[in-house]
Structure formats: C-alpha cells, structure tokens
Amino acid sequence: KRKLNENDVPEAVGDKGVKGASGKATFTSLDLDSRLLQAITGEKFAAPTPVQAKGIPLALSGKDVLARAKTGSGKTLAYILPILDAILKRNASANKQAKQTTALILVPTKELAAQVTATLQTFTAFSAQDVRFENISRKEDAAVTRSRLAESPDVVVATPGRATQWLNQDVLQLGELKHLVIDEADLVLNYGYEEDLQGIAAALPSGVQKIMMSATLRTEVDTLTALFFSDGAKPTILDLS
Ligand code: ADP
Ligand code: MG
C-alpha cells in the first residue's frame, strides 16, 4: 500500500467520506496522524459516528470526557484514535522519553480487553514501529505478564483487578501516565471494581487526561466524579444516548 504524506487525503469511500454540502464530519477533518487515517481508510468507514465526531476533537484537545452513547455507536475508536495520535506525536518528538506507559485502558472483562487490543492492532497497522501496546488481562504465566510490562509499553489494556495486581507489585508503572480510559464504566463499577479504581486513582500523577465511556450512566457519574475528579476539575459530559 502507498504511504500517505502530510498533504494527502485518503480516498473517500463512496461520496460520504468527503465533507459534503451538509457539513457532516469526516475522518480527514479530524486532524489525526496520517498513519491513523490510512488505517481508517483501510476499514472503509464512510464517516465518524456522532460519538467519534464529537469525542475525538475533545479528547485531542486534552479535555477529560465522560461519554454516554449506546452500544455499537463506535465508542472504542472515539478514545483509541486520539490517544494513539497523542502517543505518535510524542514518540516522534526529539525529546521523547525512553519507554514509558502513557495510556492505561481499563475494561470490565478480559473479553473486552481482547476486543480493544484487536482494535489497537488494526489501527496501528501503519504505525506499528512507533507505538507498543499490551493486554495484561489474559490468564497467563506471571513471568509472561512481567515480560509484557518489562519495557513499559505505550498502552496497557487491563481489567482493574489485573492493573491493581501489577501496580501493587511495581511492575505496572503509572508514573508517566498521560491518559486513563475507563471503557464500559458502568460495568466496571457494577462488577465491584470500585476499590481497585480507588487505588489506581491514587497512583496517578497529576494532569492525567481521563476518558470514560459507557452505554448507561446514572448514579455512576457521581461515583466516577468522586473517584477521579476530586480536585474539582469537571469532565466534559457528552450525552449521545
Ligand atoms: P461501542 O463501544 O459503542 O459499543 P464499538 O466501538 O465496539 O461500539 O463499535 C461497534 C462497531 O462499529 C465495530 O464493529 C466497529 O468496527 C464499527 N465502527 C466503529 N466506528 C465506525 C464508523 N465510523 N463507521 C462504521 N463502522 C464503525
Ligand atoms: Mg464499547
């Protein structure tokens, strides 16, 4: 496949991939790294979904986001694309720090961890040299997990239980974290991970961007706010349900 350069625009899929007279959002208008756009083109997605069109610019600007949108509305890419974009930008800069975990994606189950990891794989198809990710939610020998985390992958995908286990053993390093995602945040709380989240929140350095995604958010909003926004910072709430 041909490599895109700065001025290139991936070929539109049908006529929905370009900004039409309706002014509908397009992926190319989202100002993402060209290698990410190239991967998106490969998926033949016509246009960003509403949670992507609204959430990606917010996340790219560094805002904390708490989004509610129904199942199947494309929430995974709404956080994966801006995080990968930020990582690719930092990793390309001359003063890039040696191997650091800068993004932690927390999910309620190991099945979802596998799905999110597969999505990371797909969308880093053209930037695989420049971003490393590991899923530590699988049932596997502890030595294997240790080796996955030994060189601080850019992105770690985990259930809060696994993240806590390895954090407590000082194997998962969060000292340089820049982005924390909680996907299916309602389930994460309903599965009883609140105490783990408390420990993770306490281990975060200051200034970590928080992105939380959920299909439903009711009383959970208060719990999440108390856990992660106790300093008074308020997340932008994106309600697309
Ligand atoms: P959610 O997390 O909101 O339930 P997912 O992120 O799992 O939704 O996405 C649901 C499906 O939609 C996936 O198969 C994904 O590949 C697809 N998808 C995501 N974004 C788009 C898009 N912009 N256009 C078409 N399909 C998309
Ligand atoms: Mg999802």
Domain 50-239 fold is Rossmann fold (3.40.50)
Q: Are 193 and 143 in contact (CB under 8 A)?
A: no
Grouping H, G, I as helix, E, B as strand and the rest as coil, residue 48 is coil
> Which pLDDT does position 1 carry in this prediction?
35
Q: Are 69 and 237 in contact (CB under 8 A)?
A: no
> Which pLDDT does position 12 carry in this prediction?
36
Query: How many other β-carbons are positioned within 10 Å of the β-carbon of residue 11?
Result: 8
In this structure, the residues whose C-beta lies within 6 A of any atom of ligand 1 are 45, 48-49, 52, 69, 71-77
Q: Report domain extents, the chain.
A: 50-239
The mean pLDDT value of the chain amounts to 89
> Which pLDDT does position 4 carry in this prediction?
38
> Which pLDDT does position 234 carry in this prediction?
86
If you measure from the C-alpha of residue 202 to the centroid of ligand 2, how many angstroms do you get, rounded to a whole number?
A: 25
**What is the C-alpha to C-alpha distance for residues 38 and 2, in angstroms, rounded to an integer?**
9
**What is the C-alpha to C-alpha distance for residues 185 and 108, in angstroms, rounded to an integer?**
8
CA distances to 91, 120, 152, 154, 178 from 97, in Å: 8, 22, 11, 11, 13
> Which pLDDT does position 11 carry in this prediction?
36
If you measure from the C-alpha of residue 239 to the centroid of ligand 2, how many angstroms do you get, rounded to a whole number?
A: 15
Give pLDDT < 70 ranges for the chain: 1-23, 94-97
> Which pLDDT does position 157 carry in this prediction?
98
> Which pLDDT does position 98 carry in this prediction?
73
Mutate to test the pocket of ligand 1, among 32, 49, 214 (most ligand atoms within 8 A of CB): 49
> Which pLDDT does position 96 carry in this prediction?
67
Closest ligand to residue 240's CA: 1
Q: pTM for the full model?
A: 0.91
